[in-house]
Amino acid sequence: MKKDGGLPEDLLITILMALPAKCLVRFRSVSKYWNSLITGAEFISIHLAQAKPLLLFHHHNQSYSLRLDNESLDMWSNSEFELPSKREDDDFQIIGSCNGVICLLNSPQDHGHSIILWNPSIGKSLNLVLPRLSDPFHGIFGFGFNRQSNDYKFVRVATPHYPVGCQVYSVKERSWKAIDVSPALGYINPIPSVLWGRSSSYNYAFLNGVLHWLVDREEFGSRFVLSFDLRNDSFGKMMLSPYLASKLDEWMAILVYDNSVSLFLNDLDTKYIEIWALKKYDAMKLWARKLRIKAVGIGLAMVCRQNGEILMTRYPSDEVVSCDPQRNEIHDLQNLGLSDYADSYVESLALLDELKEETEKENVEITHSATFAIPSFKCIH
């Protein structure tokens, strides 16, 4: 079937699916039908599923860049981009990314804190004003996607206040919601990461619609994994194994490894680094050690690559290295420079169906950026 007197619909969709996100944003202006097709949830979802895997880096000169997640980590063409705001007093800290949307905390000197959900590929961002709950730096944060409801959510848990307060922002609903937190959580704190360049407030693992943080229950001096399910807005927790629980004086981080929520342990006494994955055995979930390798001068793990290697930083230089679990080797990556953050990333149309002019509401500001300007005569990566 043809639409707008042009190509058959199936052929048109096949062609459009092969194009990068920045080109598709421009092609919405071809016709109302093209715009409706490209901004449709189904098109955005299928386009995302076939996106090329990339890695997002934050460098010491405060710039961001993208690289292909291939053997040589090649620079992705036209990949260096500017932040969505250029005010001199802006102070951005990256919280995380999901489906090509980067979640930033902006803490300018002259006005309140805000959360920015930013998709550089389409040059748009959504600014959220944080409701007054407590100091935004005292707590834990997470950002993810609920596939069931096609909704992006930002989660903020205020700590160490009691009772613990939690607020969730739904992009689809354009609103904040307070979540009742069980008193059983007690006084919780994010695990401090002295060797890690980023605040421990932003160290979380997102897997299958669930956010996970490694936290400390202050009154008992014990650590556990706190989870938040974006599908039903509910909390859960998983205790550590006796071995991991005994490592209170070592540096830990939580990450996704081998498609499992995992803990990275840097044992400064033994000079070994370990990765423990949370695996399901019958009806139980148990911690299983997946990696143990001698490593001197390593900070903490940042992200797992498509080939199974893990990007880490040296301490205190923040030089990026890659750990090969199969060979138990660590390789220097000279071409990456100094970075204090890395995460998986894809170029996508995420949020394009949400960020429309007519949906602007109170406490939400949609901005358009000139980032990734496309030449008038062709589309390029």
> Is the CATH number 2.120.10.80 carried by domain 51-357?
yes
Give the 3-state secondary structure of the chain: CECCCCCEHHHHHHHHHCCCHHHHHHHHHHCHHHHHHHCCHHHHHHHHHCCCCEEEEEECCCCEEEEECCCCCCECCCCCECCCCCCCCCCEEEEEEECCEEEEEECCCCCCCEEEEEECCCCEEEEEECCCCCCCCCEEEEEEEECCCCEEEEEEEECCCCCCEEEEEECCCCEEEEECCCHHHCCEEECCCCCCCCCHHHCEEEECCEEEEEEEECCCCEEEEEEEECCCCEEEEEECCHHHHCCCCCEEEEEEECCEEEEEEEECCCCEEEEEEEEEECCEEEEEEEEEEECCCEEEEEEECCCCCEEEEECCCCEEEEEECCCCEEEECHHHCEEEEEEEECCCCCCCCCCCHHHCCCCEEEEECCCCCCCCCCCCC
Query: Do 89 and 194 touch, CB atoms closer than 8 A?
Result: no
CA 261 to chain centre: 14
Question: Would you give per-residue pLDDT tens digits along the chain (381 residues)?
Answer: 556 657 788 899 999 999 999 899 999 999 999 999 999 989 999 999 999 999 998 887 777 888 999 888 888 865 556 677 667 666 778 889 999 999 988 876 556 678 899 998 888 889 887 776 555 456 789 999 999 999 999 998 876 555 567 889 999 999 999 887 755 566 677 665 444 444 555 789 999 999 999 888 765 567 889 999 999 999 888 989 999 988 877 788 899 998 999 999 988 788 889 999 998 877 788 999 999 998 888 877 889 999 989 998 887 777 889 998 888 888 888 777 778 788 999 999 999 877 654 344 434 444 444 333 322 324 444
Residue ranges per structural domain of the chain: 10-50, 51-357
- Single-letter residue type at 373: A
